[in-house]
Amino acid sequence: MRGMDRSLLPRRPAALAALFVGLAAASHAQAASRVPPMPSDFANWQTVPIGDGIYAFIAPDGVTPIVSGNSTVIIGDSSVLVVDAGQFPSVARAQIAAIRKLTPKPVRYVVNTHWHPDHWLGNAAYAAAYPGVSFIATRTTREMALTKAMPFIDTTYATRTLDVVTKMVAGGKHQDGTPYTAAERQYYEYALPQFKEYAAELATVHPVVPDLLFSDTLTVMLGKREVRVMFLGRANTGGDAVVYVPDAKVLITGDLVVHPYPYAIGSFIGEWIDVMKRLEAIDAAVIVPGHGAVEHDGRYLQMVTALLESLRTQVGAAAQQGLTLAETRKRVDFGAFRTQFCGDDSWCRFGFDGVFVGPGVARAYREAKEGRLADEN
């Protein structure tokens, strides 16, 4: 989920089920110029061949209230490994049907790159289709899936939030009485059918959390094909895993890299910069982000790194001068980056401010004041 005034939502953790937080920070955005496709509709997904026996299921860009992550299928000599299972059980089942058309080999492993449910709620569909499949993740990801993620995957959460959004749309105003902008109204109106669909999907979910855990690196052999699953440090979350296929030079990043802009909710900004530089050092010819189109060079990774560095530098300087968080928000300037990432797409700009700038400034400010953070709030 993604964005709205926190005080209007049912009580929940700051990070997300599908990232529905913080877009009140984008209240001065222009009216959205387009309405992106629903990620829950498999017709809106693309199957992209990215290497010998490797396919990416690419979801629509993650700019809507309810999102779902990309999935990648790696076919080896003896079995198959899938990276991320998505948020919608119906989509996961459609992807399994697509995999069976690609190969008769069984899926033996599913990697969950991090704890956000739009990357693992589909696990149950794989468990049903492939008995004995193992779900790989860091220990932190498993722990967060069992704790922080749980409020997001209860139908009560979706139905209560749907009720809140319905009242917001009907009222048309913020709590302070100011009317919604055209962009905000369009965004919240778009949230209504998405949350209805999300609630229906949650009613079918039996959570299956990761059961094969690793700390630094896990090598999986799919017959002769080697797949490396790595933890490079805390970044977007505290347990981000990346996957690398050496023979095809394919790198799968999870939400360390997201198009068209990064998500900074609950993230570890300074450490994320270090992890991005480690990513850039990997010899990758193809990069599959957590959301968005396949990349074929490192330019977008470099854009994300530069954005994060600017965030840390600007916020750190403001904090050092003794500015409050509210004063810091007024001081920072991401205008050039907003244009670089979004161009004149006002729906993208709305999300850039709400999902990156808003929470990112808060996290960077806390890091500047407190040092290394221990939570994802």
Question: For residues 7 and 366, which has the higher predicted lDDT (pLDDT)?
Answer: 366
User: Per the confidence metrics, is the pTM higher than 0.75?
Assistant: yes
Cβ neighbours of residue 291 under 8 Å, at least 6 residues apart? 59, 61, 62, 67, 69, 70, 255, 258, 259
The kind and range of the H/E element at 291 are strand 286-291
Question: What radius of gyration do the chain's Cα atoms show?
Answer: 20
Model pLDDT for residues 320-344, shown as the tens digit of each residue = 999 999 999 999 999 999 999 999 9
> Is a pLDDT exceeding 70 seen at residue 12?
no
pLDDT at 202: 93
For residue 15, pLDDT beyond 60: no
The arithmetic mean of pLDDT across residues 154-182, rounded, is 91
State the pLDDT at residue 5. 33
270-291 pLDDT, tens digit per residue, is 999 999 999 999 999 999 999 9
pLDDT at 70 over 50: yes
Q: What percent of the chain has pLDDT over 70?
A: 91
> Residue 24 pLDDT > 60, yes or no?
no
Cα separation of 262 and 312, whole Å? 14
pLDDT for residue 299: 97
CA distance 53 to 369: 48
The per-residue pLDDT for 182 is 84
Q: Which residue from 199, 152, 191 is spatially nearest to 168, judged by alpha carbons?
A: 191
At 291, list the tokens: 């959301």
C-alpha dihedral over 32, 35, 39, 44, to 10 degrees?
-140
Which three-class secondary structure state does DSSP give residue 67? coil
The whole-number pLDDT of residue 33 equals 54
**pLDDT band for position 314 (50/70/90)?**
very high
pLDDT band, very low/low/confident/very high, at 172 (cuts 50, 70, 90)? very high
- pLDDT, tens digit, for every residue of 365-376? 999 999 999 999
pLDDT score for 183? 80
Whether residue 23 is predicted with pLDDT greater than 60 in this model: the reply is no
Q: pLDDT band at 16, cuts 50/70/90?
A: very low
Task: Indicate the SS3 state at residue 95.
Answer: helix
pLDDT given for residue 25 in this prediction: 36
